[in-house]
Structure 1
Amino acid sequence: MTKPRLKIGLIGTGFMGKTHVFGFASAPRVFELPYDLELHTVADITQEAAASAARTLGFANSTANWRDIIANPDIDVVDITAPNALHKEMALAAIAAGKHVYCEKPLAPLASDAREMTNAAEAKGIRTQVGFNYLCNPMLGLAREMIAAGELGEIRGYRGLHCEDYMADANANYTFRHDPVGGGAIADIGSHALATAEYLCGPITRVMGDCVTVISDRPDGRGGRKVVTVDDVGRAFLRFESGATGSIEGNWIATGRKMQHDFEVYGTKGALAFSQEQFNVLHYFDTADATGRQGFRRIEAGPDHKPYGLFCVAPGHQLGFNDLKAIEVAGYVNAIAGKAPEPFNFRKGLRIQTLVETIQNSAREEKWMDVRS
């Protein structure tokens, strides 16, 4: 039986643009999807770059003007992986045209912009997705199940990190991420730590932030230097609705760290520990173990941890980063078809941006702040 086709228009072909394409390519080969996915048109900043991306990534068409994707009646989904400051204009145009929108995080640099985008999408009945694919890891799903089932008892504490070193070189050029509308480390990667914290432990109600600019200026690419005002390191103490307390850190100058998206959860009956640097493993401590036999046990990802088994029938052979994006794409495509809720829609993306801004405001005012919905 022939499936309907879902035609994709991609804006941006950098790191995340390619990752999204890998997700679109893999998802139909792993999951039974309600649509056949068609890579219709790709947009980049020049016609040459767009044409090259189309050849490399498998798109049928290319353009140097992203508005061509919006205006094309054949395209069903607009996928935005352009710089953060452009997300709002592109998403609102796509929503106005009645297209579903898949947007890489952060949804928008400002919570007010994210709210405008969210309200517009909900008013039009548009299906949306924000790219938080770390949450698609079966090991995070297992951790959430264990916490919800009470296997850790009452949750007392949480620690989360997202640390990398891609901005550690003080002589690396100023980029769009250093622009004040980019938000800094707490917005760029601390947002992942916040999303994971709420995914596992529920709503955060109060924060105390500390945002630090360590490298105060960077080369501007034209022989001069440009002042940096955003944070290189952002941290926050957290209070959860459940009564648990915790902390998170977003740090893009963490020398030697390539992907330290880590968490630890402490409960009255047990604990969990996880590192994205070995993200097919979850460590579990059980207080019921006999004295002299206690310690963190290693739980290896395998077919029992859905949907791992759709990728590989053997435990321990490991999923990869792009596999998480394929899981995210599959969830979103099912949501477009009305077969499942949106995995991480604009409303959830707005929530993360609200947390980020509350932490930033708390850091400026040097006081605890309540998190508004």
Structure 2
Amino acid sequence: MSAPGIGLIGTGFMGKCHALAYGAVRAVFGDVPTPRLELLCDTPSDKASAMAGQFGFARATVDWRALVSDPAVDIVCITTPNKLHAEMAIAALEAGKHVHCEKPMALTLDEARAMTEAAKKSGRRTMVGYNYIRNPAYQHARRLIGEGAIGRLIHFRGFVDEDYQADPDLPWTWRATKAEAGLGALGDMGCHMLSMAIGLMGPISSVIGDIRTVHETRPSPEGGERRPVENDDIASAILTFAGGQQGLFSTSRSAWGRKNSMIFEVHGTKGMIRFDQERMNELHLFQNSGPSAEQGFRTILTGPAHPPYGNFTPAPGHQLGFNDLKTIEAAEFLRAIAAGTEAWPSFRDALAIEEVIHAIAASQGRRIDL
């Protein structure tokens, strides 16, 4: 595969993360081509030019349609607000580009399905940015489960909490609207935990969900009357997996003290595995073997024995970070494009996650089969 040209739309938190990932991916993983940071899109034009210079892109534009049709761009990275994902992704696929889109896929299930159909028709590769599943600790958990280290799986618990909306006097933003953001905590954070759950336990076959808006209004940033919050601050669900196991899931953007708490537990007949993203380089394993007086949790600290940790540093305990996970994700996408295989999670895979979060939102205490 020749050096692919990267077109980046959006320069916020995740836009910068993509720029860092594609800028570093060749140095970290020698088996992928060196991407060309070709074209960056943002508004206004002076911001686009400044960010292109900072991120190392050759050119800048304010027109995303010009970016997706540019012949020098092979991969379009979409890191814009959620409402723009579907239109941009479909246009890029129709222009023959591969698409790396941030989560959630879209505002609605219909949009996500249209994106999936466009990907199928185009024959191009797609990936959705569920980068937490790239963590070597998480991948080791999958290996342990596959090897039977905790026996037959019987139960899953997953909790993802942050406090960025805990303060009731925090000003209103676009994230409070269904037209701009779609779902709230479910779409912003909960989908990450569900990507982890599916990777560990398999497909989800039904949900019983409940969602709540804790702070029903927020102060207008312009002053005056408070503005309504239209989506969920908290969401919880009972999950049933296709294998018959039960799961518990909860997410909150109003949990004081939690910064990026993504905790899962997988219970089996011979032990359990526990992980917390706030200590992302550790995995906790319990196995019911040996004398009971000597049983207890083991803390596994990730290192080169947990690929691809060693591509970043040869020293155990030196730790990986959030941006490193996106670099791993970029490498996986480049490999999929080179091999002509589907990346994971592709639009088709991510649609299953969209179906789960929208079912939880619609459930209102009723069981919904998927």
TM-score range, shorter chain: over 0.9
Q: Which secondary structure does the structure 1 equivalent of 2:292 belong to? A: coil
- In the TM superposition, residue 248 of structure 1 has moved relative to its aligned partner by 1.1
Point out where structure 1 has 5 or more consecutive residues left out of the alignment: none
Deviates more, 1:112-121 or 1:169-178: 169-178
Q: CA deviation at 1:64?
A: 1.4
Match of 1:367 in 2: 366
Number of the residue aligned with 1:84: 82
Residue aligning to 1:186? 186
1:163-222 deviation per Cα after TM superposition (whole angstroms, max 9, x unaligned): 111111222222222111421101110001111111101111111101000000112322
**Structure-2 separation of matches of 1:369 and 1:166:** 30
Distance in 2 between the 1:295 and 1:108 partners?
43
Root mean square deviation of aligned Cα: 1.2
Which residue is equivalent to 2:102? 104
TM-score scaled by length of structure 2? 0.97
Write the distance in 1 (CA, Å) between the matches of 2:220 and 2:290. 57
The separation in 1 between residues aligned to 2:220 and 2:71, in whole angstroms, is 40
Equivalent pairs, count: 367
Where does 1:336-351 land on structure 2 (aligned, <5 Å)? 336-338=337-339, 341-351=342-352
Q: What residue in structure 2 maps to residue 172 of structure 1?
A: 170
Query: How do 1:103-182 residues align onto structure 2 when only pairs under 5 Å count?
Result: 103-181=101-179, 182=181
Amino acid at match of 1:215: H
Alpha-carbon displacement from aligned partner over 1:327-351 (angstroms, at most 9, x marks no partner): 0000000111116541211111111
Inter-partner Cα distance in structure 2 for 1:259 and 1:266: 23
TM-score, normalised to structure 1, is: 0.96
**Residue in structure 2 matched with residue 53 of structure 1 by the alignment:** 51
Q: Confirm or deny that 1:11 pairs with 2:9.
A: yes
What residue in structure 2 maps to residue 36 of structure 1?
34
Give, in angstroms, the shift of residue 109 of structure 1: 1.3
Per-residue deviation, 1:142: 0.8
Instruction: Report the secondary structure of 1:189's partner residue.
Output: helix
SS where residue 41 of structure 1 aligns? strand
8 Å CA contact 1:139, 1:281 repeated in 2: yes
Match of 2:311 in 1: 310
Structure 2 letter corresponding to 1:102: H
Work out whether residues 150 and 268 of structure 2, in 8 Å CA contact, stay in contact via their aligned partners in 1: yes
1:215-226 mapped onto 2 (5 Å cutoff): 215-224=215-224, 225-226=226-227
Query: For each residue in 1:276-315, what CA deviation from the matched residue of structure 2 results, as whole angstroms up to 9, or x when unmatched?
Result: 0111110000101311111111111011111111111111
- Moved >3 Å (runs of 4+): none
Contact kept, 8 Å, 1:146 with 1:152, in 2: the verdict is yes
* In 2: Cα distance, 1:71 partner to 1:352 partner: 29
SS in 1 for 2:296: coil
Letter of the structure 2 residue corresponding to residue 185 of structure 1: A
The one-letter code sitting in structure 2 at the alignment partner of 1:368 is R
Q: 2:25, 2:32 within 8 Å by CA — same for their partners in 1?
A: no
| Cα pair 1:33 1:333 within 8 Å, conserved | no
**1:205 and 2:236 equivalent?**
no
The question of 1:241 aligning with 2:242 is answered yes
Q: Distance in 2 between matches of 1:66 and 1:173?
A: 29
Change (3 A) 1:339 1:112: closer
Percent sequence identity over aligned pairs: 44
In 2: Cα distance, 1:36 partner to 1:272 partner: 37
Once residues 69 and 117 of structure 2 are traced to their aligned partners in structure 1, the CA distance between those partners, rounded to angstroms, is 22
Q: Secondary structure at the match of 1:180?
A: coil
Aligned residues of 1:186 and 1:235 also touching (Cα < 8 A) = no
Structure 1 letter corresponding to 2:91: A
The question of whether the paired residues in 2 share the 8 Å contact of 1:193 and 1:249 is answered with no
CA distance in 1, matches of 2:297, 2:110: 43
